[in-house]
A and B are shown apart, each in its own frame.
Chain A
């Protein structure tokens, strides 16, 4: 090395000599030659690695988040379209493996400080410990409602204000019943279109219920007062997970990442300007992620090539860039009666779970991407969102915490973090509506819905 350098010096002549005289640094000089790296255009593994590195650096150095997202989804190749609302059998296991999610039955207990309950204990709603007496409890407004099982008013001790405003169950129940009766009984509508029952009654009922409840509760939850309610928004997310060999075509034989895209259309969505607090710490391990040896196309999943979109419901400039709650309506194709007729009762819960997991993963991951994280720059704080999946009568509640976005082959190897989804089974809100009254109204479900809407960060 030194000999060749010396030869170079003599060869170049005087002017170069003088330049090196003046530019000699006190520390050991860096190599005068450009760094020796693999070629950028050769057909070799090293060259491919270098191109990948270059791409990663481009995305890291992108000027704005729009630019980052554009570069992230620039290369269009055939990808699997993942539908959150699917008839596929045991779809929730598959979706959990695609998104590296652990499913914990029951909802996370929010009464006590989160650290205590981090071990994934099954927590049915009724067991939210009545910590009314705990004056030390600084926040968590959901806790108090569970204290009284009586159908009357339940107390909500406000941390800052001295007074304790009542959360009137009767009032809430009447709001819910009014919405239900209006849509199903009082407003006489034409017969529903064929196979479009869901948009005839349960759809409008859900919209009415959520909008009136949100307005009613916004006094209690200042986050709701600053929220944005979207009707039928779109949520998109694109990611890579795993590897496969290209089967046919001019790229046959090459090893490619498996690409997925979720295009979701929830019925209703609440977006807020502040993030919901984390439920468990970032590195918690609450269970196992299922490993499925088959190709995703066996689910069945089908490939298509189109624009790689990442979208939470509105563009990046919107200040309400964090998600609060989504509401999904199960379509007519996936009604309970159909499953029962086909002798697939156990798949009913699977549909709800698959919908919850896939939609919430897409939403939280898109929120994380809007903040600049991606699979090479993993999230530094967990992203939490909630969802309610319903078919008009049966409600299932889901809570999702996104701990990691790094699902590609290179990044998943040393990544111990897993995403976590808590969820309940579907429970009916009422039994039947007849003659202008609602029979068998279930307060627990409504209470859970109210708790979801009242969820907010600790500072508020």
Chain B
């Protein structure tokens, strides 16, 4: 998407709020929701992914990005010692999403085979209060005239308006983990041009979170556009192995044809660094080790946010 998040906002009729919502922030601040000596363990996880994983001297991004993600999820899952309802989560890899909607007489569709979806049995409770939702009514979506909002979108002949989650048709009925919880995106291409830039990644995350939420809303409440009584919340995390983008999206309305009325809300926390630098081989200048191998500039807050998003909805 060319304009990044702004364009995605227009397409999904969303209002942006910087930072994470207060319910997530409260989870971060609560010390009961942390693993013991989590700093040490997260450092070990990063070292494992970036330094120790392969027989080669320096692991490539295609290798370390998924490994880092898997290890972080493993750490988060270990929290289910304390909260048994965390076992009611299921990761679906290679899942496909398809959602369609109309936006000021333009038919838009999100389709993709992307990311890893985490489903849960229980939905996340709405994050914004009723007042905030009503307040979005006055908010005006930014347009970026003269650039059309549909720039950079592929025009496709749609024969079937599909609204599904899962591959090529929905997760079948009766699937117990029916609520999409978080969508994870791993930018793990080795070459920089193959990876999404942070702005584009955030836009992609927004579109897919919206797609998931919309599909779920249509499954629950039918295809008529309306304002939702129970807003649907879907979270999204994107990373390239070092930087993390966190996003919480709340779908308040499926009435997307017009540009006024209640809008959807999204909270974005962007460009969170997990660590500054991972030195695989010690830097030696004139036979003196200037920088030993290791992880530098570790930020524990980023993992706390990751964990908070994981625990959101069950605590």
Give me the interface of A with B, judged by CB distance under 8 Å.
175, 178-179, 182, 185-190, 204, 208, 211-212, 214-216, 218-219, 224-225, 228-231, 233-234, 236, 309, 311, 314-315, 317-319, 436
Q: Please report the C-alpha to C-alpha distance between residue A211 and residue B87 in the assembled complex, in whole angstroms.
A: 10
Asked if B172 and A190 make an inter-chain contact with CB atoms under 8 angstroms apart, the answer reads no
Bitwise interface map of B from 47 to 71 toward A, beta carbon under 8 Å scored 1, else 0: 1100111110000000000110011
| Number of residue pairs spanning A and B whose beta carbons lie under 8 angstroms apart | 90
Kindly identify, within residues 63 to 122 of chain B, every residue whose CB is under 8 Å from any CB belonging to chain A. 66-67, 70-71, 74, 77-78, 80-81, 86-87, 90-95
Least Cβ distance of A29 to chain B in Å?
Answer: 42
Tell me the bound Cα distance from A124 to B81 in angstroms: 31
Give the chain A neighbours of B91 by CB distance below 8 A: 208, 211
Give the chain A neighbours of B195 by CB distance below 8 A.
none
Chain B positions 130-177 with a Cβ under 8 Å from a chain A Cβ: 166-172, 174-177
B86 to A, closest residue via Cβ: A215
8 contacts between A and B (CB under 8 A): A186-B174, A188-B166, A215-B74, A218-B81, A230-B53, A231-B70, A233-B53, A315-B51
Residue among A178, A190, A225 making CB contact with B168, cutoff 8 Å: A190
**Does B218 make an interface contact (CB < 8 A)?**
no
Q: Which residues in B have their C-beta under 8 angstroms from that of A231?
A: 66-67, 70
Whether B92 pairs with A187 at a CB distance below 8 angstroms is yes
**Residues of chain A lying within 8 A (CB to CB) of residue B33:** none
The interface residues of chain B lying within 8 Å CB-to-CB of A309 are: 55
Contact status B54-A188, CB under 8 Å: no
Q: 1/0 per residue B284-304: CB within 8 Å of A? A: 000000000000000000000
A317 and B50 alpha carbons, distance in the complex (Å): 12
**Could you say which of A215, A311, A317, A318 contacts B77, with CB atoms under 8 Å apart?**
A215
Q: Are A311 and B48 in contact (CB under 8 A)?
A: no
Contact A186 B77 (CB under 8 A): no
**Cα–Cα, bound, A317→B48 (Å):** 9
| B residues in contact with A182, CB < 8 Å | 90, 92, 175, 177
Q: What residues of chain B lie closer than 8 Å to A318, measured between beta carbons?
A: 44, 47-48, 52
Residues of A contacting B78 with CB < 8 Å? 215, 218, 224-225
Of all chain A residues, which has the CB nearest B172? A186
Expressed in whole angstroms, the Cα–Cα distance for A317 and B47 within the complex equals 9
**In the docked arrangement, what's the CA distance between A318 and B170, Å?**
42
A185 partner, pick from B66, B77, B93, B172, beta carbons under 8 A: B172
What is the CA–CA distance of A124 and B251 in the complex, to the nearest angstrom? 55
Question: Chain A nearest CB: distance from B169 CB in Å?
Answer: 5
The 8 Å CB contact of B87, one of A215, A224, A228, is: A215
Q: Which A residue's beta carbon lies closest to that of B70?
A: A231
Q: Chain B residues with Cβ under 8 A from A188's Cβ?
A: 166-172
Complexed CA–CA distance, A149 and B120 (Å): 32
Q: Tell which of A186, A211, A229 has the most Cβ of chain B within 10 Å.
A: A186
Q: Which residues from chain B contact A211 at a C-beta distance below 8 Å?
A: 74, 77, 91
- Bound together, the chains give a CA A325 to CA B170 distance in angstroms of 35
Do B71 and A314 have beta carbons less than 8 Å apart? Answer: no
Instruction: Give complex CA distance A453, B229 in Å.
Output: 45
Nearest-Cβ distance from residue A13 to partner chain B, whole angstroms? 44
Q: Are A215 and B51 in contact (CB under 8 A)?
A: no
Q: How far is the CA of A185 from the CA of B91 in the complex (A)?
A: 15
B70: chain A residues within 8 A (beta carbon): 229, 231
Within the complex, the shortest CB–CB distance from A460 to chain B, in Å, comes to 14
Contact A189 B90 (CB under 8 A): no
**Considering the chains assembled together, what is the distance between the CA atoms of A178 and B86 in angstroms?**
14
How far, in angstroms, from A225 to B70 measured CA to CA in the complex? 15
